């Protein structure tokens, strides 16, 4: 089992390219089950969750082939390019009450312009081709599903295309109870007969029928549930309207791919998605959106070390709530000029600079466009060093606080009451051995380790490998002293 050792206290400097999004790639990969033709996905990150999804799809009769660089298998999506925007002076949160704390400075170079999610990526990104060759196998086994909850997003595509799906019910996980009742409710509304058998969800339907589906739950909508129902409805007979759909940008990405495959979906990215069912879908060639959570994590890492970091391929319009909070904290983030003429600034270059005491702030995690729960642990690590009391309230997973006990071991001052944590800033964190408990909690511990004095050892970094491609190499590129070691202690 690997661990990271981090010698804290180095200012991060340099530039980094953000990888394709894990949480978009997983449901995007599942859409390959909806067609007999190959689906080519570009810039899929190299992560253990992705490998597990490949294994799962292979077990469901899909072949998977990785290739780099580009080699077209099916025609590429035809897109129009716009004129790139130039460098500009801009303060984060301009126009909001937070703007007064953001500083104004020139970007280091022109942003990557107005290239958006649908445009061609650099030629050297990875390429994953998925192609169903044996549609007879429709069981998603427990032995794979238990390694990754996102396996559930094969349910809708299997059911819609093959009329039958047997998918292991995912269990709970370290961030709390994670039911799938909304997925089931949505697919039932489309006419599926769904039963439970030996821990498996068994779903059947000759052909799904369009319907009005409500996906609101006690903690908002459901991201993968929306992906499941939307993907299934793409092949249903008639029109489906999803009300209270998840608005996360990853849902827009899935809808964009489905539309490139011949689906008729509008409204993705809003709470109301309309899907006109079609009889069949064809192959497509699609570039995954950049990972907003990876970007947010490196932004916090730069901020906590008083660093000066340039991030390329940054999906800035999906990070508005994060920029808003960080402006309040006093972190300078330079963004490309915004005249509001572009609605989806997805592949931009930004610069993060922080050279002053951090101010405390209130953070409430919420469904998109609110502050993402997947960045809660990371901003908590940052706020451990702010000058005063910060409040963090977790509205998506009220128990997602496993990282707090480990941060306390590094000298943080955090009091938790139910879904809220009060973080009292301390002058310094002190390196310590800490235990990673889940993907984002681990990222929070790495951020704390980068700022702490002395050595921090983060055990069980396999959690990090699920969602951050080569995190130690990325941080080394920015000047961090971080090494991956073979960890005898937790074996």
Q: Which residues are catalytic?
A: 173
Q: How many CB atoms lie within 10 A of CB 266?
A: 12
Q: Considering the complex, what minimum distance in angstroms separates the CB of residue 73 from ligand EPZ?
A: 26
d(CA 170, CA 18): 29
Site for ligand EPZ in 415-434 (CB under 6 A): none
Give the residue, chosen from 202, 230, 379, 439, that forms a contact with ligand EPZ under the rule CB under 6 A: 439
Does 396 help bind ligand EPZ (rule: CB under 6 A)?
yes
Half-sphere exposure of 143 toward its Cβ, with a 13 Å CA cutoff? 2
Q: Considering the complex, what minimum distance in angstroms separates the CB of residue 227 from ligand EPZ?
A: 8
Percent of the chain as helix, strand, coil, to the nearest 5: 30, 25, 40
Residues 6+ positions from 20 with CB-CB distance below 8 Å? 42, 43, 44, 45, 125, 287, 288, 289, 290, 291
Sign of the Cα torsion 413, 437, 311, 98 reads negative
Q: Is 246 helix (H, G, I), strand (E, B) or coil?
A: coil
Residue 408: closest CA among 448, 462, 361, 375? 448
| CA 98 to centroid of chain Cα atoms | 25
Does 374 help bind ligand EPZ (rule: CB under 6 A)?
yes
Q: Which is nearer to ligand EPZ, 98 or 184 (CB)?
A: 184
Does 182 help bind ligand EPZ (rule: CB under 6 A)?
yes
Q: In the structure encoding, which two tokens stand for residue 443, read together? A: 């990222």
Does 454 help bind ligand EPZ (rule: CB under 6 A)?
no
| CA 444 to centroid of chain Cα atoms | 15
Residue 4: closest CA among 488, 484, 491? 484
Residue 10 Cα distances to 7, 305, 308, 379, 479, angstroms = 8, 7, 11, 19, 7
Give the residue, chosen from 61, 108, 179, 262, that forms a contact with ligand EPZ under the rule CB under 6 A: 179
Interface stretch with ligand EPZ, choices 81-89, 180-188, 282-290, 376-384 (CB under 6 A) = 180-188
Does 188 help bind ligand EPZ (rule: CB under 6 A)?
no
Answer whether 351's CB lies under 8 Å from 372's CB: no
Largest CA distance in the chain: 63
Does 26 help bind ligand EPZ (rule: CB under 6 A)?
yes
Q: Using CB under 6 A as the criterion, what x/- string covers residues 217-246 for binding ligand EPZ?
A: xxxx-xxxx--------------------x
Residue 161: closest CA among 202, 194, 225, 207? 207
Site for ligand EPZ in 199-218 (CB under 6 A): 217-218
Q: Which is nearer to ligand EPZ, 162 or 183 (CB)?
A: 183
Q: Which is nearer to ligand EPZ, 12 or 180 (CB)?
A: 180
Does 29 help bind ligand EPZ (rule: CB under 6 A)?
no
Q: Considering the complex, what minimum distance in angstroms separates the CB of residue 217 from ligand EPZ?
A: 4
Does 437 help bind ligand EPZ (rule: CB under 6 A)?
no
d(CA 366, CA 293): 14
Does 186 help bind ligand EPZ (rule: CB under 6 A)?
no
Does 362 help bind ligand EPZ (rule: CB under 6 A)?
no
Q: Which is nearer to ligand EPZ, 157 or 307 (CB)?
A: 157
Q: Considering the complex, what minimum distance in angstroms separates the CB of residue 470 from ligand EPZ?
A: 17
Does 371 help bind ligand EPZ (rule: CB under 6 A)?
no
Does 178 help bind ligand EPZ (rule: CB under 6 A)?
yes
Please state whether the peptide bond connecting residue 69 to the residue before it is cis, i.e. omega within 30 degrees of 0.
Answer: yes
Does 34 help bind ligand EPZ (rule: CB under 6 A)?
no
**Contacting positions for ligand EPZ (CB under 6 A):** 23, 26, 149-150, 175, 178-183, 217-220, 222-225, 246, 373-374, 396-397, 439-440, 467
């Amino acid at each position: 089992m690997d661990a990271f050792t981090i010698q804290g206290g180095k200012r991060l400097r340099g530039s980094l390219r953000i990888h394709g999004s894990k949480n978009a790639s997983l449901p995007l990969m599942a859409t390959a089950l909806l067609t007999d033709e190959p689906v080519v996905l570009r810039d899929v990150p190299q992560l253990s969750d992705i490998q597990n999804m490949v294994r799962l799809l292979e077990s469901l009769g899909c072949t998977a082939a990785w290739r780099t660089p580009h080699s077209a298998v099916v025609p590429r999506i035809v897109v129009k390019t716009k004129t790139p925007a130039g460098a500009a002076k801009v303060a984060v949160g301009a126009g909001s009450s937070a703007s007064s704390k953001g500083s104004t400075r020139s970007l280091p170079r022109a942003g990557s312009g107005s290239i958006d999610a649908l445009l061609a990526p650099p030629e050297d990104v990875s390429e994953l081709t998925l192609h169903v060759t044996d549609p007879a196998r429709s069981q998603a086994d427990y032995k794979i599903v238990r390694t990754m909850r996102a396996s559930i997003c094969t349910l809708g595509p299997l059911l819609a295309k093959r009329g039958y799906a047997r998918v292991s019910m995912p269990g709970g996980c370290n961030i709390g109870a994670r039911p799938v009742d909304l997925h089931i409710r949505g697919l039932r509304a489309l006419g599926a007969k769904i039963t439970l058998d030996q821990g498996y969800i068994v779903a059947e339907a000759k052909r799904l029928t369009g319907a009005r589906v409500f996906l609101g739950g006690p903690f908002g909508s459901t991201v993968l549930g929306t992906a499941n129902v939307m993907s299934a409805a793409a092949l249903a007979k008639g029109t489906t309207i999803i009300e209270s759909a998840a608005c996360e940008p990853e849902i827009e990405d899935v809808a964009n791919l489905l539309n490139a495959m011949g689906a008729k979906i509008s409204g993705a990215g809003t709470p109301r998605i309309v899907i006109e069912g079609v009889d069949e879908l064809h192959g497509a060639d699609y570039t995954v959106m950049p990972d907003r959570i990876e970007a947010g994590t490196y932004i916090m890492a730069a901020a906590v070390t008083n660093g000066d970091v340039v991030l390329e391929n940054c999906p800035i319009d999906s990070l508005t709530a994060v920029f808003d909070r960080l402006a309040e904290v006093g972190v300078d983030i330079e963004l490309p000029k915004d005249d509001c003429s572009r609605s989806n600034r997805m592949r931009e270059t930004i610069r993060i600079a922080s050279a002053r005491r951090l101010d405390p702030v209130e953070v409430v995690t919420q469904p998109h466009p609110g502050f993402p729960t997947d960045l809660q642990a990371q901003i908590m690590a940052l706020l451990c060093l702010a000058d005063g009391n910060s409040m963090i309230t977790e509205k998506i997973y009220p128990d997602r606080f496993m990282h707090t006990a480990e941060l306390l071991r590094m000298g943080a001052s955090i009091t938790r009451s139910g879904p809220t944590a009060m973080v009292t800033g301390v002058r310094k964190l002190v390196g310590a051995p800490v235990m990673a408990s889940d993907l984002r909690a681990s990222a929070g511990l790495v951020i704390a380790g980068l700022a702490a004095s002395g050595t921090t050892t983060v055990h069980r970094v396999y959690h990090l490998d699920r969602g951050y491609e080569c995190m130690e190499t990325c941080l080394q590129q920015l000047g961090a002293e971080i090494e991956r070691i073979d960890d005898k202690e937790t074996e």
